[in-house]
Amino acid sequence: MGNLLVLVRHGQSDWNEKNLFTGWRDPDLTEKGIEEAKAAGRALKEAGYTFDVSYTSVLTRAQHTNDLILAELGQEDLPVIRDQALNERDYGDLSGLNKDDAREKWGEEQVHIWRRSYDIPPPGGESLKDTAARVLPYFEKEILPRVLKGERVLVAAHGNSLRSLVMQLDKLNQEEVIALNIATGAPIVYELSDKGEVLSKKILIERDYS
Ligand SMILES: O=C(O)[C@@H](CO)OP(=O)(O)O
């Protein structure tokens, strides 16, 4: 058994349900999102995982998801570290806009480029590359050393902050990352070698991306 790192995107948020660009805005989970987070906790429990520390962002939907997972695991007292470095990509001027309205205004292709390309930022916001430039140094300085010491680490964060991390762990290139989507409330379980290389990866709940 290698070193354990589990990544989970928050459950469905109110703005996911309303189909709005969210970024650094701070909606909470919907009822469905609460159920997804609890199901993620149950799946981890059934698979026999417990944790030594968890990391999350400063946004409510990720913290709430983290709390619900820890409650299912009976680990409410686990140390939780909250840091802005793990926040969702800043969607800039798109924040709060409806994604279908944006497609009508700027076209399907342009909106897809803003949402999934590596280095093209939405107006006034962060590209995935910009997001990676804060997520990866934080991961390497704060999170990975603990994983490599043998601590079992849970990270509850966001679609695009986790895309930047999975891109690095899975060694995806700039073309491959376009097709990478991370589903809500579906734990991604990594086993890492003592050098931080991925030994195995499994996703505990198969859910469609939304
Ligand atoms: O709105 C957002 O902040 C993100 C995640 O919900 O959206 P997208 O999947 O379009 O990057």
Name all domains of the chain by residue range, CATH numbers in brackets.
3-203 (3.40.50.1240)
- Active-site residue, 64 included: no
d(CA 31, CA 15) in angstroms, rounded, equals 12
pTM: 0.97
Query: ipTM score here?
Result: 0.97
- Provide the residue-wise pLDDT of the chain in tens; the chain has 210 residues: 689 999 999 999 999 999 999 999 999 999 999 999 999 999 999 999 999 999 999 999 999 999 999 999 999 999 999 999 999 999 999 999 999 999 999 999 999 999 999 999 999 999 999 999 999 999 999 999 999 999 999 999 999 999 999 999 999 999 999 999 999 999 999 999 999 999 999 999 988 776
Phi and psi based region of residue 123 (left: phi greater than 0; alpha: psi -120 to 50; beta: remaining): beta
Residues with CB under 6 A from ligand 1: 16, 21-23, 88, 91, 115, 159-160
What lies within 8 Å, CB to CB, of 46 at 6+ separation is none
User: Ligand 1 pocket check: which of 160, 177, 178, 182 to mutate, most ligand atoms within 8 Å of Cβ?
Assistant: 160
**Residue 10 among the catalytic residues:** yes
